[in-house]
Structure 1
């Protein structure tokens, strides 16, 4: 059942990617021909969706590859690299859109709504189809993030359509750069969050863990005297690795193994997927949770 679900997810991702790349191309051409900066801005949002979906697809494919002697952690960070590059580019392009919108405010340009509106409506319909394709699969963080991008882009397409109607019926061309600024600001916010999180993963920043609670949890295990020198980091989107020193009395290896197994078992509830425990007897002078030395 899970295998069929995985095939269905990859198929729907591919269809959504094709839809969004098609929308992007259509909106770029439509934006240039109609003179609508808002349509061009929405095309960038659709492009970000396409890249997000593409990253999700490759993350699933790459995640199926096994670790090897060169990449002992596997290939989990491929999606993080894609996210970093994608968000960095979007950040720069969004700032460019804001500058262009300011110029349009100062020198309004005529908008051909006969081209703008049909293209915007096609984009809206295609976005809705993409949302429906991924709705039943939006439970994992990887796909869910791409799904939320599609939902936000659907709202962006609605804004472009409404802007086109206002221009058509009321001739208020300043609505076009206004919608552009709103879309650009939204993309900036989304790009910033993705950029920040991808940098944290690449810099091996600790995920959000209650280290005090983890320390108390480990020290409540019979035979454990102290737990210290914690290190926690993320390999990819979901893989959280954790290592620590655990002080015990001198004991047989079989008893030591029991403690290690119990630590691993208890830390699963904190979302930790891989645990390395270094047992020691009266070794470390400092018993801090975070070691001050490199």
Structure 2
């Protein structure tokens, strides 16, 4: 996840560019077609499970669409107004997508709960065929992205989503077979709940991840308390304070700090110190962007980690 991830960054964009871009786009179209078919099928067959599967497919279509748009936006260069370009658009997209999905899943669970009490008859035949269409399309999409899943977080996410979709379509198929053979209609809301809980489980992780980036939390791979200790072992450094580390987008890590030097060095001599600090941070945490403020004899409590009140 660290430096090595970053060095591939430029090639990966070129690679994602031509081939994966087209594949992602094809996946989006497929997902939207399945969604439409399953919603119509769900209404005709009176199957809530089909509608939940459709919404799952829709969410994935949207996730892949957002990935595709974010990826296109991510390549736009920065401007004096948008100095980071649009690199965070995918994080914002993931956040919006996860909030919407959690709402949909919760709604479906409530609907399903009401279905358990009144067993409305469900047409298992329509349900079965729609489940099969969903399964085939998802398996096809999974195979389409199989080769590229390592190239980029969004492609990987799309791949995992589609894999999950194939499983939910399988659940719909099994439910349909049970309904056809034994007319056990409560299987339909049961499958709905299983799919919804599955969506919730995955989405909460996505929500936490995207929120922590948007809130500028310290990335999980960086330990600031440890970083402070390690930097302070360098001979030229007296203490390091006001440390901040954050991620611009997945895998693009930033670090800033005030460095209080042992000796009053001329600016030209701070270059070596800066180089040592950058090496250490890059090697230990995969941090690529370092901003430092050198000080001498600055009157800070050496124990201070971050500015503002509160911590440490």
User: Which bin holds the TM-score, normalised by the shorter protein?
Assistant: over 0.9
1:278 equivalent in alignment to 2:290: no
Deviations 1:89-122 (A, max 9, x none): 1111111111111111111111112211111101
Aligned length: 294
Contact 2:71 2:90 in 1 (8 A): no
Contact 2:47 2:127 in 1 (8 A): yes
Q: Counterpart in 1 of 2:160?
A: 148
Aligned CA distance change for structure 1 residues 290 and 5 (closer, same or farther; 3 Å): closer
Distance, in Å, in 1 between the alignment partners of 2:78 and 2:225 is 32
TM norm structure 2:
0.89
Structure 1: which 5+ residue stretches go unaligned? none
1:291 equivalent in alignment to 2:291: no
Give 1:134 shift.
Answer: 1.3
Contact 1:81 1:198 in 2 (8 A): yes
Counterpart among 225, 230, 252 of residue 266 in structure 2: 252
Q: Counterpart in 1 of 2:192?
A: 180
Equivalence map 1:112-127=2 (5 Å): 112-127=123-138
Equivalence map 1:1-294=2 (5 Å): 3-4=14-15, 6-139=17-150, 140-208=152-220, 209-248=222-261, 249-269=263-283, 270-287=285-302, 288-293=304-309
Distance, in Å, in 1 between the alignment partners of 2:243 and 2:257 is 5
Deviations 1:267-293 (A, max 9, x none): 123122211111110114222222334
Give 1:5 shift.
Answer: 5.0
Structure 2: which 5+ residue stretches go unaligned? 1-10
Distance, in Å, in 2 between the alignment partners of 1:82 and 1:66 is 19
Q: CA RMSD in A?
A: 1.7
TM norm structure 1:
0.94
Higher mean displacement: 148-157 or 194-203: 194-203
Distance, in Å, in 1 between the alignment partners of 2:126 and 2:176 is 10
Distance, in Å, in 1 between the alignment partners of 2:264 and 2:159 is 53
Deviations 1:115-138 (A, max 9, x none): 111111010011011111111111
Q: Counterpart in 1 of 2:5?
A: none
Deviations 1:221-254 (A, max 9, x none): 3412222221111222222211011111211222
Contact 1:240 1:272 in 2 (8 A): yes
Give 1:256 shift.
Answer: 0.4
